[in-house]
Amino acid sequence: MTTDPDAEFTALVQRQSRFVFRVAYAVLLNSYDAEDAVQETFLKLYRNRGWEQAENERAYLARVAWRVAVDIRPRRSQASVSSPQPLEADETPSLHPGPEQALLSANQDSIIHAMIDALPEELRVPLALSAFDELHSPEIGAVLGIPEGTVRTRLQRARQILRQKLTSIQESRYA
């Protein structure tokens, strides 16, 4: 029984487009540019059919999306270097969220996203791949082309910086 390659590709896009977006966003820090990178990534994949032989689909997609995003970044004009747009998080429905709680939660999420966006790229990208895309150190190393030990060091450093920033915010609120 033969399978339709176009149907398989459609299933791949449906299954992994959010993942590819998150990888691109981690590099570009702009949702519009990340959407362009997603389209370009899947267009490249459709043309070369390399995804069909990939052992680890997510690692392969992350590597391709990362390369596309890195290639897109220098092409963007300085006019588009305005403040990064926060990544819209999926809103999970709760039973009875009050307006105040929703506002506090949104504010906290935007602060955390801004802190992550402010990290240097060498720390931000591994953190995004680990936290948001649930890749492990060996997979992140394969995506970025760096040793696994370097990935772990960068993850540890990124988490340490975020922890320090959150602690200083909390201390300033209660001082």
Which pLDDT tens digit goes with each residue over 10-46?
Answer: 998 999 999 899 888 888 888 899 999 999 999 998 8
The secondary structure element, H or E, covering residue 153 is helix 148-173
| Rg value, the chain, Cα | 18
Hey, what domains does the chain have and what are their CATH numbers?
A: 5-78 (1.10.1740), 99-173 (1.10.10.10)
Sequence-ordered list of residues with C-beta below 8 angstroms from that of 116, at least 6 positions apart, any chain = 124, 127, 128, 162
Biggest distance spanned by C-alpha atoms of the chain: 69
For residue 71, is pLDDT > 70? yes
Dihedral of alpha carbons 74, 45, 131, 142, sign = negative
Determine contact, residues 37/65, Cβ cutoff 8 Å: yes
Q: What's the pLDDT score for residue 149?
A: 95
- Tens-place pLDDT, residues 74-133: 765 444 444 445 545 444 444 555 565 555 556 666 777 788 888 998 999 998 888 877
**Among 94-103, 112-121, 134-143, 151-160, where is mean pLDDT lowest?**
94-103
Average the pLDDT over 164-169 and give the result: 85
For residue 135, is pLDDT > 80? yes
Q: What's the pLDDT score for residue 103?
A: 56
* Distance in angstroms (rounded) separating the CA atoms of residues 72 and 70: 5
Burial 72-89 (b: 16+ CB within 10 A, else e): bbeeeeeeeeeebebbee
Distance from CA of residue 82 to its chain's centroid? 19
pTM: 0.57
Between 39 and 49, whose confidence is greater?
39
